[in-house]
Amino acid sequence: MTEYPSDIIGESTVNGIRNVRIRVPEFFSVRQIFDCGQCFRFDPAGDPDDWSYVRGVAFGRSVCFRQQVPGEMIIEGSGIDEYETVWKRFLSLDTDYDAIRKDIRSRFPKKSVMDEAMEFGSGIRILRQDPFETLISFIISQNNNIPRIKKIVNSLCMRAGKPIGEDRFSFPGPEEILSLGTEGLRELKTGFRAGYIFDAAEKIASGTLDLGEVGSAESTRRASEMLCTIKGVGPKVAACTLLFGFGRLDAFPVDVWIKRSFERHFGGSLDIESLGESAGLAQQYLFYYERYNREGDK
């Protein structure tokens, strides 16, 4: 009998596709992770309303995540080796969310809206996405809605990425984006963002901005300043990039949903600095609660 690591139940091959079944912690939900606005390349694999089974592309790989049994998940298109080297980190399954949740709770009064938000979005985890893809995706997200962002990102990948299987494409690198030119980017319906996307690709391709140095910056504030040297990148896009692409959990993006949360629950403002290293996850709980909790609108 094969002995697996404690988080792995087993591996199989179905119709020539490798699958790995793993145990997932209590605070883990495929549905919430992929429907909380942090990534744009995953969608339901079957029923368009069922986010417990999603298909998409990350790190140049096509993959499906299926969670239909409590405490378990199947990764379709992956074996144990790829789970250990790619998906475990991507899904933040190597991070102690129990400790992070306790830290967040300790920073708010008891029975506050944060308790409700953490319960409502208890399965959210911050994905660790490719930094360049995250940067370009959130530049595209400016003054945009999620369906349109996804459409533009998909068009960009089809035009400049590399084929993965029959109908999937990798996210293009800086040089591939530069090859399109600003006019080619505008043809993808990027609008005013075309120049921003081109500038980001140009700065990174030339070495003017080193994403490795951004990732190793001494503080999130300094990392944000570095990203803001790109045309069109302000504090919100920088914070999203740092949170979802660099794993900077103290980055706190402020968008319209967060502003509504501040107005509704915190008298118009919140001391973000007081949230410490857990600020980014706290932001996701508030964002998800404000966006999806219809009870709060009654």
236 part of the active site: yes
Torsion angle defined by CA atoms of residues 157, 88, 24 and 120, in that order, rounded to the nearest 10 degrees: -50
Residue 38, in any domain of the structure: yes
At what angle are helices 220-227 and 235-245 packed, to 10 degrees? 120
The candidate with the shortest Cα–Cα distance to 182, out of 202, 154, 204, 163, is: 202
83 and 179 belong to one structural domain: no
Please give the DSSP secondary-structure letter assigned to residue 232.
T
In a domain, 185, yes or no: yes
Domain with 84 in it: what CATH number?
A: 3.30.310.260
In this structure, are residues 257 and 234 in contact, taking their beta carbons and an 8 Å threshold? Answer: no
Considering the domain architecture, whether residues 226 and 170 belong to the same structural domain is answered as yes
Count the neighbouring beta carbons within 10 Å of the beta carbon of residue 80: 18
d(CA 65, CA 31): 10
Residue among 111, 231, 236, 298 flagged as catalytic: 236
> Is 156 found in the same domain as 72?
no
Residue span of the structural domain in which 20 resides: 8-94
Q: Is residue 173 part of a domain?
A: yes
- What's the number of domains the chain is made of? 2
Residue in this structure with the two tokens 């120049």, named with its chain if needed: 195
Rounded to two decimals, what is the model's pTM?
Answer: 0.94
Query: Is residue 192 located within the same domain as residue 140?
Result: yes
26 and 86 housed in the same domain: yes
How many other CB atoms are there within 10 angstroms of residue 215's CB atom? Answer: 15
Q: Is residue 154 part of a domain?
A: yes
Looking at the fold, whether 144 and 229 belong to one and the same domain comes out as yes
The tens place of each residue's pLDDT in the chain, 298 residues long, gives 566 778 999 999 988 899 999 999 999 999 999 999 999 999 999 899 999 999 999 999 999 999 988 899 999 999 999 999 999 999 999 999 999 999 999 999 888 999 999 999 999 999 999 999 999 999 999 999 999 999 999 999 999 999 997 789 999 999 999 999 999 999 999 999 999 999 999 999 999 999 999 999 999 999 999 999 999 999 999 999 999 999 999 999 999 999 999 999 999 999 999 999 999 999 999 999 999 986 544 3
